[in-house]
Structure 1
Amino acid sequence: MARILIFGGHGKVALHLERILAERGDTVTGVIRNPEHQEDVLATGAQYLLADVETFDLDQLTNLVAGNDAVVWSAGAGGGNPSRTYAVDRDAAIRSMDAASAADVRRYLMVSWLGSRPDHGIPENDSFFPYADAKLAADEHLRATELDWTILAPGTLTLDPPTGRVQLDPEGRGEVTRADVAAVIAAALDDPAATIGRTIRFGNGDVPIEEVLRARAS
């Protein structure tokens, strides 16, 4: 069983993930900023840590990460404020990677988005551009580290029930349920040999998640 730290521990994907991991016997800690969210995290079977990743420096994040077997970044500013988007989705994410390296916690999974590529095509005057730009910078920083990284890049998130089935490199919006995104993260943690060093772009489809992860990513 593993010790897993999840940044963004109160997000909808993270709450699904915490329940999946706790039920299979892992020791799971969700990092949250708002103390009012602690009961929701505890209800999944996970523990929680109160920390503001936007303001934590490298030493603080290193202390927070230390002692875990894997880190999952599922945090985000939530849009609406470009400066905060860069502060959380880019800068804090990058600090968390550097903290994982400093703490010798080698396994790191980033939850990104389907279109996170240099040619994402989002114009700079689009309100979505700061998010696209910040996520791309974080993804590229992670690829340049010596961590055992995996970047999971789902399409448009929905609140539909889980299906347990996805497809690689979907066309269009690549809609996928948040519960299935959590299941993909859990499966990637369970199968590092098939997922380390891969960027896995996916949406809901017809293939069981475990089979998809064993196939080659683009």
Structure 2
Amino acid sequence: MNVLIAGAHGGVGQHITEVLSESDHEATAMVRAESQVAEMEEFGVETVVADLTEDVAHAVAGHDAIVFAAGSGGEDVEGVDRDGAIGMIETAEAEGVERFVMLSAMNADDPENSPDALYDYLLAKQAADDHLQASDLTYTIVRPGALTDDPATGTIRTAKKLDRGEVTRADVARTLVTALDMESTHGETFEMLDGDEPIEEALENPATE
């Protein structure tokens, strides 16, 4: 597949780019600034500049799949995490993209019962997730817990709902990329944390109750 990585320069996005660059897929890293292009090209992938708050059709065109790992870092949750994500979903539909893997966040389905500091962010993620679920795209929505920079373990745990916990950015990236090719993740929304199950095995039935 020709895969576009939205948010390729971010913490999880760079891990995704690295994993995809070593896979059989053709990857394109989408960044928002020209100054980030050279850094991403070091991964050996094509790079395109596009701003999620503007038209992204030129970046989306020609791709079979999108891995969405973009985020505002809390600076513009409505413009990027909500409207930017929704805009990319709609552009993907218009451009004939078939597959969309979304990096969301734990408790995006329940922002009202989350810490006040996360409320606006989770509300934005909820809106984006809802829009993707209502789209015609073959989607997977992954909602990790608190992200860490620890090395990848290759093992996780997943379920429809989990208690609070942590997971490495590297393992989240591997999970998003692995999900691309697994039909068992089609139409599924699930949370993930560090665990003891190999990623591919965990994704065979990711949204257990």
> TM-score range, shorter-chain basis?
over 0.9
SS of aligned partner of 2:113: coil
AA aligned opposite 1:104 = G
CA RMSD of aligned residues (A): 1.5
TM-score (norm 2): 0.93
For residue 181 of structure 2, the aligned residue among 161, 184, 190 is 190
Cα 1:206–1:96, aligned 2, differ >3 Å: closer, same or farther?
same
CA distance in 1, matches of 2:45, 2:156: 26
Q: 1:108 — aligned with what?
A: 100
CA distance in 1, matches of 2:132, 2:90: 9
* Deviation digits for residues 63-92 of structure 1 (CA, Å, limit 9, x no counterpart): 32111010111111101x3xx210100001
Cα 1:38–1:119, aligned 2, differ >3 Å: closer, same or farther?
closer
Please tell me whether residue 177 in structure 1 is matched to residue 168 in structure 2: yes
Q: 1:160 — aligned with what?
A: 150
Structure 1 residues without counterparts, runs of 5 or longer? none
Q: 2:33 — aligned with what?
A: 34
CA distance in 2, matches of 1:174, 1:115: 12
TM-score (norm 1): 0.90
CA distance in 1, matches of 2:35, 2:111: 39
AA aligned opposite 1:107 = R
* Deviation digits for residues 9-41 of structure 1 (CA, Å, limit 9, x no counterpart): 101211111111111232111111122222221
Q: CA deviation at 1:106?
A: 1.4
CA distance in 1, matches of 2:73, 2:61: 27
Q: CA deviation at 1:176?
A: 0.5
Q: CA deviation at 1:120?
A: 4.8
Q: Which runs of 4+ in 1 moved over 4 A?
A: none
Equivalent pairs counted in the alignment come to: 207
* Sequence identity (%): 40
Conserved? CA contact 2:162–2:192, under 8 Å: no
* Deviation digits for residues 178-201 of structure 1 (CA, Å, limit 9, x no counterpart): 11001101110121x111100121
CA distance in 1, matches of 2:158, 2:177: 17
Q: 1:97 — aligned with what?
A: 89
SS of aligned partner of 1:90: helix
Q: CA deviation at 1:175?
A: 0.5
AA aligned opposite 2:94 = A
Please tell me whether residue 76 in structure 1 is matched to residue 76 in structure 2: no
AA aligned opposite 1:187 = T
* Deviation digits for residues 110-134 of structure 1 (CA, Å, limit 9, x no counterpart): 10011111365136xx232210110
